[in-house]
Every structure is written in C-alpha cells, then in structure tokens.
Chain A
C-alpha cells in the first residue's frame, strides 16, 4: 500500500533523511521510532507531499502504486486524506482555533464527497456528539487528539499516519487515546504508520517497529524482537532509556540508610485565587535522600516545589530546613536559597540564551556576592557536572550545546553554590532518550559524592523507579501515598497510584 524507495530529503545542503526504504501493507501497523532530529517526521510528511518548498525529495514514494512526487496537484489533492490521512502532533495547533471542530471534521468529507456523519465519527472516538459544536480550545488535550483521530478517519482512508499522537499528554490520557486508536485500527483494518520517540508507546500499538537515527533507518523488525534483542547500539540505548518498573536492572539507586530529616514540609496549603493547588501537604526529605514526587499534570506538584523554594507564598503551613523555619523574605531567605537549588525541566529555556556557560554558572556566585575565585569555582562545578574539560564549554552560548549538555550546565549552576538539596522539576522529561540515562546517572553520582539530597518532581513513574529512595504520590493537591519506592510502586495501596501504574505503557 505504501512503499518508500530510496527516499532522501535535503534541506539545502543538509540531508535529513537518507535512503530510507519502507513498505507498509494494508492492515499492518508500523512504529517508526527515533529521537528528535532523526528525520522520522520528515518521512511522515513526505508521504502526502507536505514538506515545505525548500525541501528536495529524492527517491520514490508510492501510495497504492502511484508516485506521490510526480502527481499533478489536482490528483494529489484527491489522494490526500482520501487514501491516507494524518493524525498530527499537538492537536491544539493542528486544529484551526477559530472554527468548530465539527466543521473541521466535516470539511474533508465535503471536499472529497464522502458520505458519513460527524456524530458517528465522534462516537467512534468516544466523544459526545455535542462536542462537534465546540472550538478546539474548549476541549481537553485528550479530547482534541480524539478529534484529530476522528478527522483522520473521516474519508475512510486505508492508511493513517500518526505523528507523535500522544506526546504532551498525561500518562492516563495517553493510555486512553492509544486505546481508541488501537481499537479503530483493528476494527477498520487500517494501515497505521505511527511515529514516536517513545518506544513504550510504539510497543503498545504496533506490530512492527522501525528505528531511525540521523536520517537513516537502522533497524526494522517485529516489535517484540527489536526491543528484546536490539541489534543496533542506538536501539539498545533507546530501549534502555525506558525503565521497566519492577525490573531490578533498571533500578539504579543505591539503597540508603534512613537519614535524618533535612527539609520538612508541614501542613502546607497554597491557594491560587479560589482554587487550592496544594492542600495540607506533609513531606520530609532526609539528608542525602532522593525523593520522587509523582503525579499527573495539575496535581499541584510543581506548585509545591515552587513553594518550598520560597518562590510562592504559602497560604498556611511551614517549611523547615535543617531545623529552622524558612524565612519568607530578606537575607535569611537568600541564605536558604543558597542551600537549595532548582533544576528545571527544559534546560534550553532555563538558560538565558544571551549568557555564556560561564555567566550562567557564575550567576549564583554573583547573586550571593561570592565573587572571589569565581573562575576556579565555576570550572570545578562545570567539571563536576561532567562537562570536561570545562574550558571547552565556558565561553559557549546555550544554543551551541546539546540538550544534555545544557542540562549539565543548569546542574553546574546549582552545584557552584554547594547546595545541600536539589529540587528538580522533570529533569529529564524534555531530553532525548539516550541522554536521559546520563543525567540520571549524574544525579545519583552527585548524591554519592556530595551527599546531595534531591526532590525529583516527575510524572514518569519509571524515573522514580530508576532513581528515588522514596516516592510520594500527589493527586489533587494532596499526597495520597508515600513510602519507599518498592513499597509504593510494587504494592500500591491507593487507587490513584494503581491507576497511574496501569496507564504506563508496557514494553
């Protein structure tokens, strides 16, 4: 049905896809995995000739035997959506924000003269019919993605291409959307080309798996085989990056003795206007202990972290650090902030694009007036964050570094003040799979060598399994369950924890 022969795509002199061969038969499901920049989305877009004019496409793209590259525009328009449709990434932006979703679903049907009803399509994706009158912004992320799926099925195509259909969705919602997609593909016997950076998602959905790396197809085979016995080192790195909860091989944390408390949160309440974001939370972090705070987005975990840092004023409750209550302002707060450092999710935005690595790392020193011997301290911190030799990086600007390197700079910026606690908000969520492991290892090594305690905020239960000593599960502003990693993740006692665990895609 779909056959890519020797497909190469160039942007100017840059080759982003090189000589990819791929076939997909009707009813077949194929996952295309790869990190960002591996060219996987380019392959998807080339199928309907949707690449920008600047792209040079070579090779053949046969859709039902016709080469998409040489079709007339009229013919191409007829083929688009009727033969193959796409579920785009990020439905918020892929849906026209000023038109009702019902109209948008109906549009291709009118255009291609397909019979059918919007209501039916909405029912197929388990959305109530009145949602047809809604605008995209009135829907939740999961609902929007369902609309995208309904739209993709509107003209009864035989091939559906899904480009990162669940990225940016919460685990629980992701599981639901994947379920819908899986069911429909099976019911209607569609061909599915699914693209994702997340092997576990592909493993859930696809029978076959292809792995791309730097524009090349490095591996292809049955999903189970590829994951179980990766032949290409890159595939291996990808598989390793997705820890399996309960698998001791994926548990990297060293067992630590019960420590004495470093930071204690007592009955903390934070309100945003009328909504209560954090509702009476008690939490303790011991010296040198790594605690993972897990929960869905909107559960209040980020607010909790901000409040601990003193970036938000709590409505009530106390934060005690090293036996003393943390001040809300003034010098004492500043001193406290020297001891507790924040590491943010997206390193590229956590670094001022105009500051060199040296400036970024030295910022803390400057703020606290520790200007003497700056250079030595910065160098030491950078090297400790495993950017060696430091001199190679000090004068670089953030955009010259890779994501992993950027995150190391952020960590170095924290280390330079010799903190005792690190609050890390989704420290690896935006990193490519292969880099993720290195950062996790770095955090663990810092704990080992410096006795640095960490509060890791994450939605990713796998990360908690990998790194944490203890886990606290947060739901609707409350901590519903906390305890040692094994205890919480292997024998969950709260329903919510169980729901979270169920939603994790299984490889």
Chain B
C-alpha cells in the first residue's frame, strides 16, 4: 500500500518535471518592477505615484511634455489659445484620435471630465487642485474646449488630469465605488489595462490604434515587489526588465552585470533639512515646541554653513546626487537656481561658530551652545545615515543633536504639529514650479485651530509671498523664470530649510531584452517616473533568440530530484524493514 503510494508520487513528480512551461509564440513583454502599492485604478481616486504613472499610460492628458526637453507639446489637444485677459483658454482637440474601443475622442470627453470634477467632490480626490480655479468648462463643438478661470492661471498647460471617455464614465453611478476594473479598460493612452491582480501584478496591452503610433512591443507588465532589494535581485536574475528607485549600494551592485544597463538620471526629488523658524498659525499664534534660538535667522544660517553638503553627497548618496541649493532640481533646467559665489554659503564650521558667537550664543563651559532635536524617518536609509553626519557636524560647532528616527506617521505628525527643531523632508517636484514654491507661503500655514496647514517649513516671509504672487500672474516665461529664481534665492538666504541634495534617480534595465528606452529629458533623464509615458512607450526590444525564462526551472528539477531520491530511499527502507520483522521487538 505504502509502496504503491510512493510510486505514484514519484510518477507524479517526474510527470510534473517533464511538462515544460508552454511557450509557443510568446508575445514581447516589458516587465517593470514597482515597489509601491496600487491604491486604485480609478484615475479620480488614485493618489499614489505608482497609480498615477500607470494612469498616464492609460489616459492621455490635455497637453503633454516632450521627452526631449519637457516643453509643452500635443496631448489630446494640439492647439491652445488664451484670451487677452488670460481668463479664457480655448483648446482644440483634433480629429482622428480614438479611444481604445474605437470611439472617437472629442472635446466633449474633455469637458465631461473637468465638469465631473467640478460637480463631484469625490472626483476631485486626486487631482482637485488643478480645477479649483476653474469657473466653467464647456465644449461648444466636438473639437473645441473652452475653460474659463476665476483668476489668471499660469499652469493652464500643466493640467495633469487624465481625460476619461464620456461614453463609459457617464454611466458610472458613484465615483467613490467605481474600481474601473472592467477589462480591458477603455483609455486613450499607448497601453490598455487588461489585468490587475492586487499585490501581484498589472498587465497592459499595447494600444495598436494609439494616435502617436503603436508601441514597439506587445505587453507591459508591472510586477509588485515588497522592497527594492528583491526587485534588484530579480533584475539581476532576468526575471524583470526595468527597475527604478534603487539605493546607491544596489545600483553599485549591478555594475558590470552582464545584460544589465544602469541609468543614472537626474531626479525630480530633493532632500531637505527643515529648520523650524518659529512655527506660527495663519493668525500668528506660535505653535509647536521648536527651539526659540532657531527664530534667529543668523543661527539658521550658521547651522546651514556648518553642514558639509559635499561630504553628504559623497558618503551618504555615494555620489549619486547633486549638491543642493534652490527648491527646483537641475532636471528642470530653466527654473533651477544656483547661488552666485557671493551668495553661496561655503562649508566652514569655524565661520559658523563665529557667527553663533556673534549672534549671542557662545559656547558654555561644557563646550556646547544649545541642544537641538533632529527627527528623521526610521527605515529610510538616507535619514539613518545622514543623521549620523549631521550629529557630528553640529557637535563640532557646539550644538549637540538628539536624533530621533521615527515611523513615517510619527514624522508627519511632528512636522505638521511643528514639534521639531530639525527634520528631514523631501519633495518630488513638477515641471511647473508653482506647487513646490507655494508650499512655503504664509497662507499655507494652519488655521487658528492648528489644522488645515499644508505648509512645508512654516516659512512666512513677505518678500517671498510678494514674489510668489507676481510669478503667478506673469505670463512672460523669461520674466517668470527670473522671479522664481529670486524666490529661491530668498528662501536660500532665510534658510527655513537647507536643500541637502538632488538625488539621482537610479534605474537599471535588461539591455539584453530591451535595447533602448526614451529618457526625459533626453540628456541624463529618467525612464520611469517621467512627466509622461515616453520611457515605456519608446522602449525598443532587443533582438533576442530565446526567452531566458527556462533557466529558473532547473530549481524545480533539483527539488524534484531530491523528492524522488527521498521517495526511493523510503521505499527501500520499507522493504528492508518488512524483511526483518521477526527479529525486531
């Protein structure tokens, strides 16, 4: 009986092994690792970066940014015209663009989408900020969209709102409960969502009728990874084709790996060290418990001068970053600001110490001046390491740091409640600098009840606010750039935060599977997390002979062999035992 069973098992195992994974006429697939969860496939609700990125592949926006230099280019609309008072914008949606189900895309779809957001509070969840200034959106005919705004708005060509098909969405009852998972999902982008298994993967098919032309491969798969470590490993093994957001060490580990090409790109992110400038509410009440000494701008400047930004970039970022200066990273070249030699604070602990002496904070008998607290996020490699350096630098000028690394939530809590002296923070910026600049205006501070604040640094400066208002209504780009730079200079001078570094986006791909990707911008740009879908859309498959998938199956063979050997041993043993039954107890 037992023997029979074992034999059966053995047969089953060998059968399992001999059946190879079916692989006839395999489509060309680009497999991309994502580390962040997908919160929703409904573009009105999806707020996670990962979801937005997939949304860009499914739905085109009204306008787009070129891969070359991120300038505005054709999206669904190919022409646009503001009125002289800058309050009315007219967009033209050309003929010939189609939804993935063949229905033509019209201006009415655009108007429908914006009006849905204007009327339905839930539809504003993700992208509401783009339409708050809208007064009215209409589509006088199938080709024309007219948007009237309440006040002149410079960001009218940066409306990052996915446009959805009216013929599908007008039937949706409650936006809140709509998961948008009727596969394939009707869209206008280069790819069509065809399958989503939460926590596992997302599959998109190439949109053969895409108006810019079909992508050069068949399917795009996003595969979920719990951490980037696993993703990097999978890339090294060839299980996936594209990974981003690598840690410097992981990036280094891929050096010289056959079949893998690394892409060190300029990132959209900057990391900053916030210095609590004496947080106040909009009504001027002090809140939080920031150290009072930091209200003195001379102290903030001295602290900033004592930080060796070059060393941080070299040791913590392992060189994969640019030294920080203004609020706009160099990837968005024209708005990026660098201090002139006169303005720049060069690293000089001695000068910093002298400045503190002069400001009235001499060293005490024990060599310290005043203690400060530093909050960072536990589990973020940068914070964990940079805090060590900062601790050292600050103690060199007589400021002992109490470093507390806390959870994401606790960090948010502290920064919102202004219960910090120094804190790590960071932002991802957009092509238009408006948002990142707005974070530092007085109006962003919380109300009298301490709630409703969206300020980053609790910065409130008249000069800065005046410049902010100016740039918002400046439609001459060159002059706007100039104002934006002035704002950054002011920010740099007042130091509510020290921009530590612009981190590189570290990406890697299987160049043996995909020969080339389109980066944005063309020079030193990123493949993933673009302001657009060029990276995925422009990927060109390499000439391959065979998919490398079979290599993984050796593992099964090994396991099967072990099982078979065990079964055989068991059978032999059982036989032997039966034979000797009489002599045994």
Contacts and interface: CB of A to CB of B under 8 A. Distances in A.
Contacts of B177: none
Interface string A52-90: 000000000000000000001110000000000000000
Contacts, number: 8
B164 to A, nearest CB: 66
Contacts of A73: 582-585
A301 to B, nearest CB: 48
Nearest to A77: B585
Interface string B551-585: 00000000000000000000000000000001111
Contacts of A74: 582-583
Contacts of B585: 73
Nearest to A75: B582
B35 to A, nearest CB: 53
Nearest to B581: A74
A429 B584 CA distance: 44
Nearest to A76: B585
Report, as a range, how many residues of chain B touch the other chain: under 10
Contacts of B584: 73
Contacts of A72: 582-583
A147 to B, nearest CB: 27
A308 to B, nearest CB: 55
A274 B584 CA distance: 55
A73 B582 CA distance: 7
A73 B580 CA distance: 11
B582 to A, nearest CB: 4
A291 B584 CA distance: 60
A57 B333 CA distance: 98
Interface in A90-136: none
A72 B584 CA distance: 9
Interface in A162-211: none
Nearest to B585: A73
A111 to B, nearest CB: 14
Contacts of B582: 72-74
A77 to B, nearest CB: 9
A18 B487 CA distance: 107
Nearest to A73: B585
A45 to B, nearest CB: 16
A38 B583 CA distance: 34
A74 B585 CA distance: 8
A72 B580 CA distance: 12
Contacts of B583: 72-74
Interface string B262-284: 00000000000000000000000
A502 B301 CA distance: 109
A78 to B, nearest CB: 11
Nearest to A74: B582
A72 B583 CA distance: 7
A73 B585 CA distance: 6
B577 to A, nearest CB: 14
A27 B62 CA distance: 111
A72 B585 CA distance: 9
B583 to A, nearest CB: 6
B44 to A, nearest CB: 63
A70 to B, nearest CB: 14
A487 B397 CA distance: 107
Nearest to B582: A74
A31 B582 CA distance: 35
B232 to A, nearest CB: 55
A2 B255 CA distance: 87
A72 B581 CA distance: 12
B115 to A, nearest CB: 74
Nearest to A53: B585
A72 B582 CA distance: 8
A73 B581 CA distance: 10
B304 to A, nearest CB: 69
A74 B584 CA distance: 8
A195 to B, nearest CB: 25
A73 B583 CA distance: 6
Interface string B444-471: 0000000000000000000000000000
A74 B582 CA distance: 5
A59 to B, nearest CB: 22
B101 to A, nearest CB: 67
Interface string B408-424: 00000000000000000
A179 to B, nearest CB: 38
B63 to A, nearest CB: 78
Interface string A352-387: 000000000000000000000000000000000000
A356 B584 CA distance: 49
B578 to A, nearest CB: 14
A52 to B, nearest CB: 13
A176 to B, nearest CB: 38
Nearest to B584: A73
A72 to B, nearest CB: 7
A55 to B, nearest CB: 15
A74 B581 CA distance: 8
A74 B580 CA distance: 11
A82 to B, nearest CB: 17
B270 to A, nearest CB: 70
A76 to B, nearest CB: 9
A68 to B, nearest CB: 14
B580 to A, nearest CB: 11
B249 to A, nearest CB: 59
B387 to A, nearest CB: 54
B567 to A, nearest CB: 30
A243 to B, nearest CB: 47
Interface in B190-219: none
B130 to A, nearest CB: 72
A74 B583 CA distance: 6
A473 B585 CA distance: 53
8 contacts: A72-B582, A72-B583, A73-B582, A73-B583, A73-B584, A73-B585, A74-B582, A74-B583
Interface of B: 582-585
Given A72-B582, A73-B584, A73-B585, 5 more contacts: A72-B583, A73-B582, A73-B583, A74-B582, A74-B583
Which 8 residue pairs are nearest across A and B when measured between Cβ atoms? A74-B582, A73-B585, A73-B584, A73-B583, A72-B583, A72-B582, A74-B583, A73-B582
